[in-house]
Amino acid sequence: MSLERIHTLVVGGGQAGIAMSEHLSKQGIEHLVLERDRIAEKWRTGRWDSLVANGPAWHDRFPNLTFDDIDQNSFASKDRIVRYFEDYAKQIEAPIRCGVEVKAVTEKADGSGFVVETSEGTIEAVNVVAATGPFQRPVIPAVVPEETGVFQIHSNEYRNPQQLPEGAVIVVGAGSSGSQIADEMLRSGREVYLAIGPHDRPPLRYRGKDFCWWLGVLGQWDKKTPDPSTEHVTIAVSGAHGGHTVDFRRFAERGMKLLGKAEQYQSGVLHIAPDLAQNIAAGDASYLSIMDAADAYVAANSLDFPEEPEARLIGPSPDCVTNPILSIDLAQANIKSIVWATGYALDFSWIKAGRFDGKGRPFHDRGVTRTPGLYVLGLAWLSRRASPFIWGVWHDAAYLADHIAQRQMVLPRQAQR
């Protein structure tokens, strides 16, 4: 196979790879994006059928293209998001080669760049940007063994309620994915249990503004690192059905059985941690704290926003919170499936250069790794809270392109190409 040379190689043609391409072009840097499947593949095949964006159209986009055919306060469908990124790639004339997988990246012995093994031959590059997503390898905790015969899938394989065998379902994890999937299962007429861990649940709208706006003006998208105590706290929001605040009490009123953390399985019985009330209370506190901060912002800036005292009313705790279920006999409860909405890990095993911590996370500063010329983009908290999201990744890509351009100026001549 032939040897191709390129200045900067971007791996991954999702939103991160497209943003990177735009900023590299602006810097006049020759580059190529390799995508193993299709543009925005994860939005096409890595998510459930009914998914819509969690953030409204005015926010969940790049600065240089709007969603011109939908209400700016509505939530784009996943298919519309795919079309958005296809259009964007065309608009910026991104050099994306689809259907090419990067198999391995190694550092050249003389330190002048990288050798990239792909499914279509070898490429040499001065810089490599790994834009392979924040959610690379689905994680299912080893709680319920496969031999139990219960149908178990990760949320990335969930498509719709018809996919699951008849019977009751447990959804584990109450971030945006878990809470939306559980809601959809309940609407389809299933008996649903939802295992709820620590979570934040911002109000979808408050005093006339949506949560993306509030998190913006309150500086929360710009937070640099998670508080150590909330590092594993997931955020529960939903753009589904026109968008709504995730309220687990309402789920319970509609018949959903809320559970604490699914802990261990023994002889047909799933044991549940006694932490449901605590997790619900912490979620309520996070909900109220956003409104406290929003009220303070309104007052400090003398804004004429309508008051909304009713948003602060939190209903009584449902029976499943006050008398928590601490174990479930799966057969007796007719539980035939479990959907694990339990998040993802990174998998950079194809990068044979650079240094990674015990969890496979690269050591980096705003995406600049300790190996000159090797960059990562799109990861959670890469530079701040907004980093893995559509709007945030575009800004992180600008920083990396700038870094690459500066590096280009100081590289020895033979290493510039």
| Residues of the shown chain interacting with ligand FAD in the complex, contacts defined by CB under 6 A | 11-17, 34-37, 41-43, 47, 51, 53-55, 60, 101-102, 131-135, 177, 350, 378, 388-390, 393
Which CB atom, from 8 or from 15, has the smaller least distance to ligand FAD? 15
Instruction: Write down the least CB distance from residue 16 to ligand FAD, Å.
Output: 3
Q: Could you tell me the smallest distance in angstroms from the CB atom of residue 379 to ligand FAD? A: 8
- Closest separation in Å from C-beta 368 to ligand FAD: 17
| C-beta closer to ligand FAD: residue 113 or 318 | 113
Q: Of 164 and 328, which has the nearer Cβ to ligand FAD?
A: 164
Choice between 102 and 270, CB closer to ligand FAD = 102
Q: How far is the CB of 43 from ligand FAD (least distance, A)?
A: 6
3-state per-residue secondary structure call for the chain: CCEEEEEEEEECCCHHHHHHHHHHHHCCCCEEEEECCCCCHHHHHCCCCCCECCCCCCCCCCCCCCCCCCCCCCCCEHHHHHHHHHHHHHHCCCCEEECCCEEEEEECCCCCCEEEEECCEEEEEEEEEECCCCCCEECCCCCCCHHHCCEEEECCCCCCHHHCCCCEEEEECCCHHHHHHHHHHHHCCCCEEEECCCEECCCCEECCEEHHHHHHHCCCCCCCCCCHHHCCCEECEECHHHCEECCHHHHHHCCCEEECCEEEEECCEEEECCCHHHHHHHHHHHHHHHHHHHHHHHHHCCCCCCCCHHHHCCCCCCHHHHCCCCEEECCCCCEEEEEECCCEECCCCCECCCCECCCCCECEECCEECCCCEEECCCCCCCCCCCCCHHHHHHHHHHHHHHHHHHHHHCCHHHCC
Question: Which CB sits closer to ligand FAD, 91 or 278?
Answer: 91
Give min distance, CB of 78 to ligand FAD, in A. 8
Closer residue to ligand FAD in complex, CB, 198/388:
388
CB of 223 to ligand FAD, least distance (A): 16
- Report the C-alpha dihedral over residues 341, 204, 243, 158, rounded to 10 degrees: 0
**Which residue in 110, 198, 177, 147 sits closest to 342, CA to CA?**
177
CB of 287 to ligand FAD, least distance (A): 19
Cα distance between residue 53 and residue 237, in whole Å: 10
**Toward ligand FAD, which CB reaches closer, 11 or 335?**
11
Would you call 62 exposed, middle or buried from its count of C-beta atoms within 10 A (0-12, 13-18, 19+)? buried
Sign, Cα dihedral of 227, 347, 235, 199: negative
The nearest distance, CB 320 to ligand FAD, in angstroms, is 26
Pick the closer one to ligand FAD by CB: 88 or 265: 88
Residue placing its CB nearer to ligand FAD in the complex, 188 or 349: 349
Residue among 76, 73, 105, 106 nearest 15 (CA): 76
Residue 293 C-beta: closest distance to ligand FAD, Å:
22
CB of 114 to ligand FAD, least distance (A): 14
Shortest gap between Cβ of 345 and ligand FAD (angstroms)?
A: 13
Q: Do 258 and 321 touch, CB atoms closer than 8 A?
A: yes
- Of the pair 210, 317, the CB lying nearest ligand FAD is at 210
Which is nearer to ligand FAD, 164 or 276 (by Cβ)?
A: 164
